Amino acid sequence: MKLKATALVLAALAMAGCTEDVATAPSAASGEKVVLKVSHFWPATAMAQKKVLEPWCQTIEQQSQGQMVCQFYPAMQLGGTPQQLFDQVMDGVADIVFSLPGNNAGRFPSMEVMELPFLTRDAESSSRVAWQIYEEFGQKDFANLKPLAFNVHDRGQFHNNVRPITKIEDLKGLKLRAPTRLTNKMLEAYGATPVSLPLPSLTDSLSKGVVDGYVLPWEVVPTLKLHEMTKYHSEINEPDPVLYSTLFTIAMNKQRYNSLPDNLKKIIDDNSGADFSASIGKAWDDELAPARAHAVDNGNAINTIDSAEVKRFEEAAKKVESDWISEMNAKGYDGQAMVNRAKELVAAAAK
């Protein structure tokens, strides 16, 4: 009898353990309050939280009549590094993350097309394109996630402490911090020395002369008080295409999404996709002028690289594109088709 009872207890425990393994995400019955853990690497005061994530969360809370709410974990408060955010959301540590696919080089290759030099225009229209590229080419790469939006930032520009940049030759020998793999390759093509640094380390590295400068959109500059320690800013402006872009995504744990009742899934779906992506890009575009004003007010030198010289920059960067196409082809993607389609969509969206 004792043996039989022990066997029954062990069987029950085994079944309980099996149930835990299968239930990879908590379910939400209709009417039950759902708290979504939202994680990112920016400070809580950053634009990404204040003007993107918080308004989005307010919308889904209102539309769900308070049934679905967000709990924010800025500045990696759930632990780990920015490079681990996608693992954290897939493992259920977070329900939603806002991060850069480029932080995991080679993991999401299809969307890297949006980071090619001189591909994008304004952030709003190009972010809408990014969502369409995902729908046409990127769903396999993100099969284990539920993407909610893709976006690019406002125009990436040159910033340094050595000299104004008016032509390619001015970049020769400069040590510049670059944010992405493709931006590193672009800087190498111009004769600069790319330096890979985590963004929070840039301020200290610039003050100590570890780097001469950096390539960044204006929006980031005052956030890190970089305008206070930078002498020269060199811009490529409209109607010329953008020097470079970095791609971001807001992604949700797929099991968490699937566990939601249909009415809450619909709210998530109604507030995801191309329109949400474009609105994030617009938030970045809107920050360009006020962020740039900090450098103007500080008396920094700002120059525009003329269109004739921009053509030389574009020509020198073509190798970055051709090499990327070859890399994608080797991975089983049609790299040329992806580039062609991205350029076609960008041109149409910018009209």
Q: What confidence tens digit (pLDDT) does each residue in 56-103 have?
A: 999 999 999 999 999 999 999 999 999 999 999 999 999 999 999 998
**CATH 1.10.1740.10 assigned to 156-243+299-349:** no
**Cis, peptide link before residue 200, omega less than 30° from 0:** no
Topology agreement, domain 30-153+245-286 and domain 156-243+299-349: yes
Q: Which two tokens stand for residue 202?
A: 């840039």
d(C-alpha 305, C-alpha 179), whole Å: 21
316, 172 contact by CB (below 8 A) = no
Per residue in 225-270, pLDDT (tens digit) is 999 999 999 999 999 999 999 999 999 999 999 999 999 999 999 9
Domain ranges for the chain = 30-153+245-286, 156-243+299-349
Quote the pTM value.
0.89
55, 90 contact by CB (below 8 A) = no
Task: State whether residue 127 is helix, strand or coil.
Answer: helix
d(C-alpha 349, C-alpha 259), whole Å: 35
141, 147 contact by CB (below 8 A) = no
Assign a CATH topology to domain 30-153+245-286.
D-Maltodextrin-Binding Protein; domain 2 (3.40.190)
For the chain, 351 residues long, give each residue's pLDDT as a single digit of tens: 333 343 433 344 333 443 333 334 455 666 789 999 999 999 999 999 999 999 999 999 999 999 999 999 999 999 999 999 999 999 999 999 999 999 898 899 999 999 999 999 999 999 999 999 999 999 999 999 999 999 999 999 999 999 999 999 999 999 999 999 999 999 999 999 999 888 889 999 999 999 999 999 999 999 899 999 999 999 999 999 999 999 999 999 999 999 999 999 999 999 999 999 999 999 999 999 999 999 999 999 999 999 999 999 999 999 999 999 999 999 999 999 999 999 999 999 976
H or E element in which residue 280 lies = helix 274-297
Vertex 47: Cα angle to 41 and 53 (nearest 5): 75
CA distances from 49 to 75, 86, 101, 212, 269 (A): 10, 18, 18, 30, 20
